[in-house]
Structure 1
Amino acid sequence: MYTLVTLRSVPDFAVGYVRDLRVRWAMEEAGQPYSVKTIGPDEQISSTYRQQQPFGQVPLLLDGEQSIFESGAILRHLGDKLGLMPSGERERQLAEMWLYAALNSVEPYFGAFAELDVFHAGEAWVEARRPGLEAMAKRRLGDLEGWLSGCEYLAGTFSVADIMMSTVLRLLESSGLMEQFPAVSAYQARCMARPAYARAMAAQVALYSAEKAAA
Structure 2
Amino acid sequence: MPTGTIVYFPVRGRCEAMRMLLADQGQSWKEEVVTKETWMQEQLKASCLYGQLAKFQDGDLSLYQSNAILRHLGHSLGLYGKDPREVALVDVVNDGAEDLRCKYGSLIYTNYEAGKEDYLKALPGHLKPFETLLSQNKVGQAFIVGDQISFADYNLLGLLLIHQVLAPSCLDAFPLLSAYVARLSARPKLKAFLAPPEHINLPINGNGKQ
TM range (shorter): 0.7 to 0.9
Q: TM-score, normalised by structure 2?
A: 0.77
- Corresponding residue of 1:191: 184
1:109–1:137 contact (8 Å) kept in structure 2: no
Please give the secondary structure, in 2, of the residue aligned with 1:158. coil
Q: Give the distance between the partners of 1:78 and 1:203, measured in 2 at CA.
A: 24
2:182 maps to a residue whose letter is A
- Corresponding residue of 2:7: 5
Q: Give the distance between the partners of 2:195 and 2:132, measured in 1 at CA.
A: 32
- The Cα shift of 1:154 comes to 1.6
Q: Give the distance between the partners of 1:67 and 1:93, measured in 2 at CA.
A: 25
- Corresponding residue of 1:108: 102
- Corresponding residue of 1:148: 134
Q: Give the distance between the partners of 1:191 and 1:54, measured in 2 at CA.
A: 33
Q: Give the distance between the partners of 2:25 and 2:57, measured in 1 at CA.
A: 17
- The Cα shift of 1:112 comes to 5.4
2:126 maps to a residue whose letter is R
- Corresponding residue of 1:68: 63
In 2 relative to 1, CA 193–112 (structure 1 residues): closer, same or farther, beyond 3 Å?
farther
**Could you report, residue by residue, the CA deviation over 1:26-63 in whole angstroms, capped at 9, with x for unpaired residues?**
21232222122112124324334432253333x32101
What RMSD over aligned residues (CA atoms) do the two structures have, in Å?
A: 2.8
- The Cα shift of 1:208 comes to 6.8
1:61–1:68 contact (8 Å) kept in structure 2: yes
In 2 relative to 1, CA 208–171 (structure 1 residues): closer, same or farther, beyond 3 Å?
closer
Q: TM-score, normalised by structure 1?
A: 0.76
2:157–2:181 contact (8 Å) kept in structure 1: yes
- The Cα shift of 1:141 comes to 1.7
Q: Percent identity?
A: 24
